[in-house]
Structure 1
Amino acid sequence: MNDLAADVLDSHGGLKCWHRWSTVTATIVSGGELFLAKGLPQDPTPRQMTVSLHEEHASVRPFGADDQRTDFTPDRIAVEKLDGTVVAERRNPRDAFRGHILETPWDPLDRAYFNGYALWTYLTTPFLISMPGFAAEEAEPWQEGTERWRHLRVTFPDGIASHCGTQDFYFGEDGLLRRHDYHVDIAGGFAAAQYVHDFVRVQGISLPTKRRAYLRDVAGRPVHEHLMVSIDLSDVRFFASTSRGRGARS
C-alpha cells in the first residue's frame, strides 16, 4: 500500500477500527437530474440504507411501497417484501444496461441496482481500497482554488459493481476525501465530479454526510448548472454483528 493510501485510511479512522464493524446503516435523502432523465424522479422521502462493509451487498427501504426493500449484490438485484418474499428480481443486472445512453429510461430494478452499487461504493470509501483485488496508485494532484488535493487513482476488480472500472479520489491536507470522479457506464458513460462535505465522526469512522455529483467537463471542472445526483446522510450507525448485513433484515 502506498503512503498516500495508508495516510488516507488512517485519516478516516484506520483499518483497525474499520474491521470492528460489518454493517453500516444511514438515513438517506437523494435527488438530482439523473433520476429525472431516467423518468424516475426521486421524491424527498427519507429512506434507510443498509450496507455490508466487507462484501458488496446493500439494501434500501422503503422501495416502491412501505413494506418493500431492495436486495443488491453484483450479480442480482431484487425488490422484496420485508418478510423476504420476492416481488421482482433480475439476475446479471449489468447486462440490462447495454446500449443505454443518458436519456434511456430506467425501470425500478435499474434504479435499485444503481442505488445499491453507488451507496455501497460511497459508504465503504476509502476503505474499499484495502479489499482484495483493488489497486490504488498516487496520481497527479488537483488544484481546487487555493487548495492542492492529493489524488488516488483506484482500479476496481471485475467482481465489484460500481460506476466504472477506474475512479479518481482527491484528498485535502487533513487526509479526508474532498472529491470523487468517475464515469457512469450504465448511463452512457457521462463524466461526473462528486464533491463531499460535512464530515462526521461516527464510532471512530469519519465520513461525509453530503454528496453532490455534477457533470464534469473535458477540463475536469464541475458544471454546476447540472447537479446529477444529491445525497444527504443522517443517523449513521455501525454494527459489529452480521445480523444487519446479508439481506438487510431489520
Structure 2
Amino acid sequence: MISPLAQEIIDAHGGLERWRQFDTAAADLVQGGVLWPLKGQAGVLDRTRVTVSLHEEQASHAPFGSGSRRSRFTPAEVRLEDTDGQILERLEQPRASFQGHQLDTPWTELQLAYFAGCAMWTYLNMPFLLAAPDVVSEELAPWEDAGESWRRLRVTLPPAIVSHSPVQTLYVAADGLLRRHDYDVEIAGNTPGAHYIEDYIEVSGIRIPTRRRIFPRQPDGVALKEPLVVSIDLSNIELR
C-alpha cells in the first residue's frame, strides 16, 4: 500500500494513471562534475541521449562516447552495441564486477554504462517508482534546507530493483515536488550523495525536473557545497 506522502508526491508529479499511459522516457543530457574524470571516463557521456523503460528496468545511452556506439543496461547484463544492434562488448551480472570498489576506483566503459543506466532509470522513474510492487515508504521528521522546511520520505526498494542503494530518502517541498534525493552509491564504496532537483517543466501532463546537482553528504545529513560530483541538465524530454 502506498503511504500517504508517497501518494501526494505521485499526484503532484502528474498522477499514476497518466504515467502508466507511457512506455518510455527519453531526454538529451549534458553532464559534468568530478565523478567522470575520477573514474577515468571523462567526456564519454558529456552529451548524449538517454532512453529508459517505464515498465522494466532497462536504459540506453546514445551516443556512448565517440563514434556511433550505444549502451544497453539491464540488471542482468550491460552491453555496448553499434547502430545495427551488433554487440561489441558485454558484461553479465555487472554489479558483481564492482566488488571492492571505492570512490576513486576506475571504471571500465561497461561499468560506466551500468552505472549511468541504473542511475538514469532511477531518476526518470522517480517518484512513480514509489508505486512499484514491494516498494516500502515511511515519512520521517521534516528537514530544514535552503531556508525551507521539507518533508522526508524514507524509501526501501526490493531486491528486484537495482539502484544506488536499497534505502533512499526523498525530500519534498510544500507543492509536493521533489527537491532532494539521498542515497549511498554502493558500487563506489557506499559513497553518500545529496542529489538536488530543480527547474521542473511539464511534459505530456507529467512534471519532470531538468536540473540535477549531486554533492557529497556528511554523516549528519548536511550536504557539502563542493565538490560538484555530478551535474545533469535535461532537455528535449519525451514520454512515449
Normalising by structure 2, report the TM-score: 0.97
Deviation at 1:33, TM superposition (A): 1.0
Hey, what does 1:185 align to over in structure 2? Answer: 186
Hey, what does 2:120 align to over in structure 1? Answer: 119
Count of paired positions: 239
Q: Secondary structure at the match of 2:229?
A: strand
Gaps of 5+ in 1: 240-250
Hey, what does 2:87 align to over in structure 1? Answer: 86
Q: Is the 8 A contact 2:182 2:193 kept in 1?
A: yes
Hey, what does 1:171 align to over in structure 2? Answer: 172
Q: Is the 8 A contact 2:32 2:46 kept in 1?
A: no
1:230 matches 2:228: no
Hey, what does 2:222 align to over in structure 1? Answer: 221
Rounded to whole Å, the distance in 2 between the matches of 1:14 and 1:122 is 17
Cα distance change, pair 145–209 in 1 and its aligned pair in 2 (3 A): closer
Q: Is the 8 A contact 1:216 1:222 kept in 2?
A: yes
Post-superposition CA distance 1:113-160 (Å, at most 9, x none): 000000000000100011112111111211114311111111111121
Cα distance change, pair 21–44 in 1 and its aligned pair in 2 (3 A): closer
Deviation at 1:171, TM superposition (A): 0.5
Hey, what does 1:246 align to over in structure 2? Answer: none
Q: Is the 8 A contact 2:27 2:51 kept in 1?
A: yes
Hey, what does 1:245 align to over in structure 2? Answer: none
Hey, what does 2:110 align to over in structure 1? Answer: 109
Q: Is the 8 A contact 2:210 2:234 kept in 1?
A: yes
Rounded to whole Å, the distance in 1 between the matches of 2:4 and 2:188 is 34
Cα distance change, pair 68–185 in 1 and its aligned pair in 2 (3 A): same
Q: Secondary structure at the match of 2:225?
A: strand
Rounded to whole Å, the distance in 2 between the matches of 1:66 and 1:205 is 33
Gaps of 5+ in 2: none
Rounded to whole Å, the distance in 1 between the matches of 2:227 and 2:17 is 39
Cα distance change, pair 72–181 in 1 and its aligned pair in 2 (3 A): same
Q: Is the 8 A contact 2:75 2:93 kept in 1?
A: yes
Aligned AA (2:154)? R
The equivalences for 1:23-42 within 5 A come to 23-42=24-43
Post-superposition CA distance 1:83-133 (Å, at most 9, x none): 110000000000000000111111100100000000000000100011112
Post-superposition CA distance 1:11-39 (Å, at most 9, x none): 00001110110101100111111112111
Deviation at 1:4, TM superposition (A): 0.7
Hey, what does 1:244 align to over in structure 2? Answer: none
The equivalences for 1:62-77 within 5 A come to 62-77=63-78
Aligned AA (1:185)? E
Rounded to whole Å, the distance in 1 between the matches of 2:146 and 2:158 is 33
Q: Is the 8 A contact 2:182 2:194 kept in 1?
A: yes
CA-based RMSD of the aligned residues comes to: 1.1
The equivalences for 1:140-219 within 5 A come to 140-219=141-220
Q: Is the 8 A contact 2:10 2:16 kept in 1?
A: yes
Same amino acid, percent of matched pairs: 45
Aligned AA (2:110)? L
